[in-house]
Structure 1
């Protein structure tokens, strides 16, 4: 069936939960329904009758509640961890007495602050977060001998040089395109997408606490731009037993802050269907909880579920919007030849998962320090509160007073006296006051309790990597090498977690890249870059490049760089290049204008320089003399080889020994007359 014929398939009014629309038998084609849905832009809820909408709305809420129950244990610990990290006041504690100590030690607070303080500067560098990596082996220029042969007219060499030149030009063009894409994506993140940097800050503070976070990216219908927002894991409900977001049958986002006037505006704009929502509170303008569920559902009646986005009002379970989460190009066909049918879909999932630590039991929801430190935090808080209560009891005192002792504490305060500084009270007693008052003994905290507390705090610091050396409290007298080793050891946990964040960044930027390619404005691309070579369609085609964060997961931290600088400073005056050492140290400590602080290089000593020049001239003279003697000797050997000597011996012609500069008695040359005997 052709596309034009599919578009002519018109929906008919009907009823039934399992069918999208009731059609005449001649046109009841599931494939036609599927294509009709995919080609419908925006809300498709008008294709369902009221019964189907009511059933779908109820199903969305029930499935959401089922998924939320599956992660109840994770959610409880995560919420408790958030409360502890925020140092929010807990309920009043009434044991061992009313308003007893209820201090929460800031283990999670310190861990979250330290992680974010190290990760945030590595991810956000000024206004750059994205770079574009160009794949492929960089080509090499033609070898010099090939270039020389080409210049002499060798046809094969000329072809080789041309091929190498074209490969280099192609590589340079890809690099230029990569830079343009990176610049434009950074512009989108930092100057067009509202509060992307602020959301990243929130993500990096919340991630170590609850272990999970999401970034949502979509094409905003109101502004016509690509948008992104951080979604807390507390607000995105996924079944605990799924493997990943792409294969999850349902992913539900809680949207708790949608006001009635916003809903009415979307109804008038055609984004939501016409509904009447009764007030759920005394304030008729109180925000409503909406559920945006990305789910699989069979609307075309062929037995294969398709991906949709269904928006429902949680309180009334009314469907506000249904949108297809697939395209015609994303419908995969299969089956035997001649009987092909849809076998699957390329599903659009707008959420990117950021993980802190994978669940140790292999479940979907990752864990954070809040889960790992849940019991340790409870032990630490209990120990501290017990010691505070013991100190309070010891300071406040208490005991027994004999009935014979009359205390004048004022009306309604029998047997109770409160003292102010420098104040004495009058009492009536027959004997000694000491005999009438017995102060009870309050047991003091055991030294073992302090040891246990120290052990628990040490274990917590081991888990969170908040060593003294990482928090700026290292021993200043420790050797630099030891400090560097401690830094490396303390950053092991941080480095592995940061690589998981890096994976999330990569997935997020790839999604943004495809969003820009699908919905971006070529004119805006040219205007932002102001580059005549910019080609929006070619640059965002996805060919030959991959989008990656600019931050390196193995990048050296500032603390490591400072430790290395201290190591170098210890080598000053020991025969190295002191000026270069100082320059590196200033750069590691981020000192402005280090050149102004570096010592001016001393000019050379004139006498030493003159002597060096004389020595060099003498050496050059000796070399020249040696070369001259070598040349003369070679010339003599050549002449001797070419002719005969004066005594007639072949091959020995040449000058006499005197002419060769060989003095001495003729006998020394082998004969009475200086010739050959």
Structure 2
């Protein structure tokens, strides 16, 4: 860089000439960058010929900019070479997994092999155990994870409130609408992912925002196109994740024209073949066909980009790696783009203390775009699929099937030896049934000139071995059928459930992994919808306006509808049948309507809320509508904010109406209607009592179903107890005062009171009369007793006198007898 400075002095010695000193500078900077700094003394310091680093202008670079446009070609070349070497090392680390996968693909059974050995058109069928297992897994998992209503349900974050519940319903409906209607490719991509997952053991979903479609997308990426170090644990902690992309020349031109990739000349596309393609060609003996598309490496890695990464500290200036996405052309080894791969609101590595920083971190957390679906967790990063598990069984079954079919072919159409010179018209084509051909024989009988080879029929031993191997493969692949004949029709539900659980447990574990992966995928989709989607819904949502979209997504979590604990509908139905049997033994401790509602939903019946409405499904109604609902047997519910006194008055008046009572009296369901309405009145009465307690306390009570801390609950109970006592006293005084007012103001009540007083006086008079009668009766009884005593005394005296007379008479008679006896001897 040339800099010419010409100095001109007005005189040889300015001090002697007393002329002002002048210095003229003629600077030829050649458009070189320069900086000017004003010093404290007023002078200006000019720095010439120094280039600025990317960090010096980083504040002018947008967050989503292509950083490759700001780096030197030598830096890009070094970075590309290092990344390619590391990716090739990652490819070599999964060599054993690829070899097993390729060998299993040969016996998948989705094609027919035209064989030329041991003879032309020999049997070329394959065992169907692999394809059967993959197709069944795809069908069962698709039914569980993608029902007709959509694959998403919601989970409320934090405390559940009616507003959050309504927001969760809107998010659920919107996510299902986006996946089933807007993202028209999602179902096909999901089915393709499940089929690849079953066979390969791993499949990936890439979730990103497509500016061409102006919406979020989720595409399936087969395991062979995602290169991860074999020793990595998961995608979040992997050192590198490389996605192999293939772009046509037209697609590359569009991406370069939109400035998504650097506008560099890549030349003609150079073919690149993955390790899986090479292995397939090697085992098949074919030559790989060159592809006219560009092969790109999209590397998601933690890198140190010169000029863009912050130092660990100011002393040693040791840079820390940050997450970037580097896209390069594998054929020309040219980097096309380098972009930051973390959330914009997190601190920038180049400015860790900038104003946009929310929390200090040495390096930001990388933004994830991929979701890993594993089938069976194996020894390394990639999962084990059906090819790795039962591929050997499929290969052995294929060999046995071909042997059996070939043996049957040879037995039905045998070959043999014939004498030289013997001619058969029609050559050696098989003789059709009922066909006779002419034969020219040199001499002797035909059987002497033809000797068929002794081919045997298909071996029963091979057939039994084939069945055994096939059954073992189906059992190991968790696709064996349950022998229903082994179970009794009268077996307890628990026994049936145990058998189902034992049979379905391996597949349940696989579907649990699918459930977890779908949960991560839905989180990424939710974040994209909340970030890029419009702030209002595409339709009119229920219970809200159209502008509540982002607010709803902020308070709601999305999860799959599948149940990781019950992998099939049969298992869930048997579980609910067991609960129903338990509920029959003690129905009073179960919520039977909710249990029946859950059973209907498990069976997949649509509109379960209309078939069996629940109280929580009800909306606030006026008292007349509630009365009408009770009359037709529909549930009603009271809400805490309603005017409960007005509702109670309207319901009680409805019950006391003589016309309504006369009409309902003829209805056989009258008692149930009255009980339902009185239960609803009791619910209003409870809310009314709660409101009165709150008035006594002077503060509102916590929500009825909100859990309370122990200390707070104890203090609240004491306050409520005091308030309830005060409320009872107030009610008692009000009742007494009301009664007094009624007595003072109601004439009818006064007449009734007077009649009551007259009755009381009559009762007192009768009581007094009864007392006098009792006294008189006592006196009569006493006189009677005295009379009886006198009579007894008189009777005693008369008896004594009579006894005396009888004694005297007896004495007289005795004396007469004695005198007569004395007179008789004298007379003799």
Question: Is 1:385 matched with 2:396?
Answer: no
Q: Does 1:55 align with 2:63?
A: no
Answer yes or no: is the 8 Å Cα contact 2:170–2:541 preserved in 1: no
Does residue 287 of the first structure (1) align with residue 293 of the second (2)? yes
CA drift of 1:455 comes to 1.8
Query: TM-score with structure 2 length normalisation?
Result: 0.56
Identify if the C-alpha distance between structure 1 residues 427 and 566 changes in structure 2 by more than 3 Å, giving closer, same or farther.
farther
SS at match of 2:536: helix
Comparing 549-558 with 373-382, greater Cα deviation is found at: 549-558
Q: Which residue of 2 aligns with 1:626?
A: none
| Per-residue deviation, residues 486-516 of structure 1 (Å, max 9, x unmatched) | 4443222221111111100111111222223
SS at match of 1:349: coil
In the alignment, what sits opposite 1:296? 302
Distance 2:111 2:94 in 1: 24
Please give the alpha-carbon distance, in whole angstroms, between the structure 1 residues aligned to 2:371 and 2:394: 30
Matches within 5 A, 1:94-173: 94-136=116-158, 171-173=161-163
Deviations 1:419-442 (A, max 9, x none): 344222222232222223222223
Check the 8 A contact 2:302/2:322 in 1, yes or no.
Answer: yes
Separation of aligned partners in 2, 1:522 and 1:184: 13
CA contact (8 A) 1:43 1:271 kept: yes
**RCO higher in structure (CA 8 A, sep ≥6):** 1
- Out of 189, 205, 209, the residue aligned to residue 199 of structure 1 is 189
Residues 274-283 or 371-380, more deviating: 274-283
- SS of residue paired to 1:205: helix
Contact 1:259/1:285, CA 8 A, preserved across alignment: no
Pairwise CA RMSD = 4.5
Q: Does 1:305 align with 2:321?
A: yes
Instruction: Report the counterpart of residue 451 of structure 2 in structure 1.
Output: 438
Q: Which residue matches 1:479? A: 489
SS at match of 1:523: coil
1:431-486 CA-partner distances (Å, limit 9, x unpaired) = 222223222223555443233222211211212222334xxx95599636476654
The question of whether the paired residues in 2 share the 8 Å contact of 1:220 and 1:226 is answered with yes
Partners of 1:47 and 1:30 in 2: how far apart? 6
| Equivalent position of 2:96 in the other structure | 73
Alignment of 1:410-489 (within 5 A): 416=428, 418-421=430-433, 422-469=435-482, 475=485, 479=489, 481=491, 486-489=499-502
Instruction: Return the offset for 1:104.
Output: 0.7
| Shift in CA distance, 417/535, structure 1 to aligned 2, threshold 3 Å | closer
* Distance in structure 2 (CA, Å) of the matches to 1:586 and 1:352: 33
What is the CA-CA distance between 1:376 and the residue it aligns to? Answer: 0.9
Q: 1:499 and 1:588, CA in 2 relative to 1: closer, same or farther beyond 3 A?
A: closer
Asked whether 1:546 is paired with 2:557, we answer yes
Asked whether the 8 Å contact 1:211–1:367 carries over to 2, the reply is yes
Q: Give TM-score scaled by structure 1 length.
A: 0.67
The alignment partner of 2:245 has SS state of strand
Alignment match, 1:523: 536
Deviation of 1:304 after TM superposition, in Å, equals 2.2
Secondary structure of 2:224's counterpart equals coil
Q: Show structure 1 runs of 5+ residues with no match.
A: 1-10, 14-22, 139-170, 571-575, 597-608, 610-645, 647-654, 660-665, 667-677
Contact 2:109 2:125 in 1 (8 A): no
Distance of 2:597 and 2:215 partners within structure 1: 46
Query: More deviation in 380-389 or 203-212?
Result: 203-212
Q: 1:453 to 1:290 in 2, by over 3 A?
A: same
Q: 1:279 to 1:79 in 2, by over 3 A?
A: same
1:354 equivalenced with 2:376 (yes/no): no
Relative to 1, partners in 2 of residues 1:342 and 1:36: Cα closer, same or farther, differing over 3 Å?
Answer: farther
Q: 1:345 to 1:583 in 2, by over 3 A?
A: closer
- The CA distance in 2 between the partners of 1:126 and 1:245, in whole Å, is 31
Structure 2 CA distance for aligned equivalents of residues 529 and 268 of structure 1: 44
CA distance 1:395–1:566, change in 2 (3 Å): farther
Distance 1:593 1:331, change over 3 A: closer
- Report the Cα distance in structure 1 between the residues aligned to 2:319 and 2:325, rounded to whole angstroms: 19
Preserved contact between residue 35 and residue 328 of structure 1 (Cα < 8 Å): no
CA contact (8 A) 1:203 1:230 kept: yes
1:215 Cα offset (Å): 1.4
Distance 1:364-1:514 versus aligned 2 partners, 3 A rule: same
Deviation string, structure 1 residues 645-668 (Cα, Å, up to 9, x no partner) = x9xxxxxxxx99x99xxxxxx9xx
Contact 1:123/1:551 (8 A) holds in 2: yes
Structure 1 residue 381, shift from structure 2 partner: 0.8
Larger Rg: 2
Q: Distance in 1 between matches of 2:101 and 2:127?
A: 17
Name 2:792's counterpart in structure 1: none
Q: Which moved more, 1:454-463 or 1:526-535?
A: 526-535
> Which of 236, 252, 255 in structure 1 is aligned with 2:242?
252
Name whichever structure is richer in helix by fraction. 2
1:398 match: 415
Q: Distance in 2 between matches of 1:289 and 1:317?
A: 10
Question: 1:326 Cα deviation (Å)?
Answer: 2.3
Q: 1:333 to 1:265 in 2, by over 3 A?
A: closer
2:206 maps to which of 193, 216, 221? 216
Which position in structure 1 is the counterpart of 2:382?
Answer: 365
CA distance in 2, matches of 1:248, 1:25: 43
Give the corresponding residue for 2:803. none
1:587-628 Cα shifts (integer Å, max 9, x gaps): 9887999999xxxxxxxxxxxx9xxxxxxxxxxxxxxxxxxx
Tell me how far apart the structure 2 counterparts of residues 505 and 12 of structure 1 sit (CA, whole Å).
53
**1:500-556, CA deviations, whole angstroms, 9 ceiling, x for partnerless residues?**
111001111112222233333213478667823854454344x5x432112222347
204, 215, 221: which one aligns with 1:225: 215
Aligned equivalent of 2:69: 46
Deviations 1:293-322 (A, max 9, x none): 212221136532222112222322222222
